[in-house]
């Protein structure tokens, strides 16, 4: 199977200009989602707001991409992740996270989760915790420029993760051929709330393209 992205020739300045248009719009839709789960207005206001949203939908629906955003972007550019549900600049489902990483295989992010991510009362939905951990693990593994996918992800929920300000950290522990073992945790105000172990796999279809790095000596723990 070929590389899953359809590269285009959009320049970085054009992408940046595009992001400046879409970022504020996405932020506004995200606020709309928050209003949807928290507003306490009466039925007339809800119906009027619905008509406004339907008008916006009609305007946006005038043109549509023929592929998903993830497929249509240029490899190596920010656009590839614009639809991503954790970091995507065009996805209001994304909190969004800004993830930092280093070449040693560490990744981390300080982020905020509001009521749209609630599971148990006042706490983050466990699936959302998993979503965020998976993404940031992907950055830790991807920092070594390995095209790897999550093979197995095990999460131990130590205690409820409170809505609000949180931090996630992930690290590559070791490599065994095409398998990359990594760890992660989510930190709340009282310490770790969820601790994860993962095995990422360099998919069969990418192995031939990767002669460097794969099967290299163990990297050792890089937990910060
Ligand atoms: C893929 C394109 C990625 C390109 C990325 C490029 C650069 C990266 C840069 C930045 C990245 C930044 C952020 C990343 C963003 C987000 C991260 C989110 C990650 C995800 O959200 S990703 C979606 C969920 N993920 C899946 O959708 C996987 C579905 N699945 C498969 O696509 C296959 O199933 C696969 C590939 C897993 C294996 O298939 P395969 O054919 O390549 O494997 P094969 O049989 O050859 O096994 C070889 C050795 O791996 C062992 N092994 C096999 N499977 C295993 C498993 N599941 N767990 C543990 N070990 C496993 C065997 O036991 C054997 O081990 P041994 O050699 O010791 O016997």
Domains of the chain: 1-96 (no CATH), 98-207 (3.10.129.10)
Spatial distance between the Cα atoms of 204 and 209, rounded to a whole number of angstroms: 10
Spatial distance between the Cα atoms of 147 and 215, rounded to a whole number of angstroms: 14
The whole-model pTM stands at 0.89
- pLDDT at 39 > cutoff 60: yes
**How many angstroms does the Cα of residue 20 sit away from the middle of ligand 1?**
34
Nearest CA to ligand 1 atom 30: 151
| Average pLDDT score over the chain | 87
Nearest CA to ligand 1 atom 44: 204
**How many angstroms does the Cα of residue 35 sit away from the middle of ligand 1?**
38
| pLDDT reported for residue 135 | 97
Pocket, ligand 1, Cβ cutoff 6 A: 134-135, 138-139, 142, 147, 149-152, 178-179, 199, 201, 203-204
- Indicate the pLDDT class of residue 218, thresholds 50, 70 and 90: very low
Q: Which atom of ligand 1 has the smallest separation from the CA of 177?
A: 67
In our burial notation (b when 16+ CB lie closer than 10 A, e otherwise), range 69-79 reads beebbbeebbb
44-62 pLDDT, tens digit each: 999 999 999 999 999 999 9
124-157 pLDDT, tens digit each: 999 999 999 999 999 999 887 778 999 999 999 9
**How many angstroms does the Cα of residue 3 sit away from the middle of ligand 1?**
15
């Amino acid at each position: 199977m070929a590389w899953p992205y359809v590269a285009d020739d959009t320049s970085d300045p054009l992408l940046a200009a595009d992001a400046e248009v879409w970022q504020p719009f996405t932020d506004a839709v995200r606020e709309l989602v928050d209003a949807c789960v928290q507003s306490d207005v009466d039925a007339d206001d809800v119906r009027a707001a619905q008509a406004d949203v339907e008008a916006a939908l009609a305007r946006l629906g005038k043109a549509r991409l023929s592929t998903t955003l993830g497929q249509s972007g240029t490899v190596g550019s920010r656009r590839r992740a614009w639809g991503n549900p954790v970091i995507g600049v065009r996805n209001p489902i994304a909190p969004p996270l800004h993830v930092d990483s280093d070449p040693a295989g560490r990744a981390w992010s300080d982020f905020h989760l509001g009521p749209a991510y609630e599971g148990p009362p006042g706490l983050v939905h466990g699936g959302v915790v998993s979503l965020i951990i998976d993404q940031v693990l992907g950055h830790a593994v991807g920092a070594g420029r390995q095209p790897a996918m999550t093979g197995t992800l095990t999460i131990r929920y130590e205690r409820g993760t409170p809505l609000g300000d949180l931090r996630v950290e992930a690290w590559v522990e070791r490599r065994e051929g095409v398998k990359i073992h990594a760890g992660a945790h989510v930190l709340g105000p009282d310490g770790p709330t969820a601790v994860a172990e993962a095995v990422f796999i360099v998919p069969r279809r990418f192995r031939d393209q990767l002669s460097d790095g794969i099967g290299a000596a163990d990297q050792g723990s890089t937990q910060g």
